[in-house]
Amino acid sequence: MTTAVDRREDLSFLASYSRKWIDNQLNKEYSGARFFWNKRRAEEFARTPIETLLFDKYFLDAKRWMYPGVAETILDIYEQRKHRNIRVVCILGGFGTGKSGGIGAALNWLQWFEFSCKFDPTSERACPQEFYGLKPTSIVAFIALSKTRDKSEKITFSEMKPAFESQFNKDYFPINPNVKSVVEITANNTLVFPNTATEAANAGWSVYSFVMDEISFLELIDNSSRNRGSTRDVYDQAQEAYASADGRRFSRFKRDGMGILLSSLNYSEDFLMTKIRNAYNGDISESETYFKVFLPWKVNPEKFGGKKYFYFDTNKFEIIKNDKEVAALDKYYIEVPIEKVIFGENSDDPNDELLRKVRSGQLKV
């Protein structure tokens, strides 16, 4: 026979046990975080302007380390996202233009932040996985891809990692300090890690965002045995790796998430150049692609003594140093977007005609 006192004791024990279980779960899920993440906070942070996320010291603090041209590009991407979906960002630029440390690192973190603020409005918790119909315990990946794992670790991943040491992360989503080879964030089951850019490397992962660095220098093999059984006779590692990673992204997140493709120039018909050229020409298959060519003197003017330009002869592939030609260009130069110079029709370039007149003596300066 159970008395009323016994039942009260049972209920007290049950309440105590339940509280202990909840506390243990919270401690496990939010270990190291200063503040509890909930739907109200997720809604508030989701409204943070892109300028704040980029420049405020609480977030990326980009004024301290990001080139002006890189910041302008990111702001342009987010302005365009107000009017169209951008699923792929393609950046062509040489060494030192801030591709990996600026575009790759910042966009990857911004995509992670965007994901972290999602939640199912019918759920009691702020769990981004539930928003996409995934299990709350599903690991969502943000991957740094390069030709080799060593390059991925030392270049792409090492540039991406510091963004996750922001004060925002320390407060709500601290990284696991015991794991050095990846960025492990247990508070929302996300993982940032380096990998090789092969089509098999991403199998099994729920990929929300991926950065492919120096994509133009991946393998291109004619008559490849890797295409055995296929009608194709060329194995393009860049194309295969991109299709694999983006396929993982699309299968889980549809039009959300982003692929970030970065490289210096290798040859004019490589995967990245072809993708940008198609986007420039209005190919419908590239309607969700944003592209930009980074010129060092525009990305980081201070490095060039504050000047944002010098003149480059695209026919001779050399910097123009002749005083008369420079003076004529200073006076009459017509700005032509570098994308048009590289990917467009340039037979009617007014600056080429200007140089022709100076060199033939028809125009005196």
With b meaning 16 or more CB within 10 Å and e meaning fewer, what string describes 244-254?
Answer: bbbebbeebbe
Q: Are residues 198 and 159 in the same domain?
A: yes
Q: Are residues 297 and 314 in the same domain?
A: no
Assigned domain for 1 exists: no
Q: Are residues 47 and 169 in the same domain?
A: yes
Q: Are residues 131 and 190 in the same domain?
A: yes
For the chain, the helix, strand and coil percentages under 3-state DSSP, each to the nearest 5: 45, 15, 40
Assigned domain for 281 exists: yes
Instruction: Return d(Cα 158, Cα 190) in angstroms, integer.
Output: 17
Assigned domain for 181 exists: yes
Assigned domain for 2 exists: no
Question: How does pLDDT run along the chain (365 residues), one tens digit per residue?
Answer: 444 444 444 445 444 444 444 444 444 444 589 999 999 999 999 999 999 999 999 999 999 999 999 999 999 999 999 999 999 999 998 888 888 889 999 999 999 999 999 999 999 999 999 999 999 999 999 998 877 667 667 666 788 899 999 999 999 999 999 888 889 999 999 999 888 766 556 667 899 999 998 888 876 555 444 444 444 566 678 888 899 899 999 999 999 999 999 998 888 888 999 999 999 999 999 999 999 999 888 888 887 665 556 787 766 657 888 999 999 998 888 887 888 877 877 667 788 888 989 999 888 87
Assigned domain for 86 exists: yes
Q: Are residues 253 and 344 in the same domain?
A: no
Assigned domain for 3 exists: no
State the pLDDT at residue 160: 87
Q: Are residues 14 and 135 in the same domain?
A: no
Q: Are residues 187 and 258 in the same domain?
A: yes
Helix 350-360 crosses helix 323-332 at what angle (to 10 degrees)?
Answer: 140
Instruction: Please give the single-letter amino acid code of residue 330.
Output: D
Q: Are residues 230 and 81 in the same domain?
A: yes
Look up the domain containing 13 and give its range: 8-34
Q: Are residues 144 and 94 in the same domain?
A: yes
Overall domain count for the chain: 3
Q: Are residues 81 and 228 in the same domain?
A: yes
Q: Are residues 188 and 337 in the same domain?
A: no
Please answer whether residues 257 and 266 qualify as being in contact, where contact means their C-beta atoms are separated by less than 8 angstroms: no
Q: Are residues 352 and 292 in the same domain?
A: no
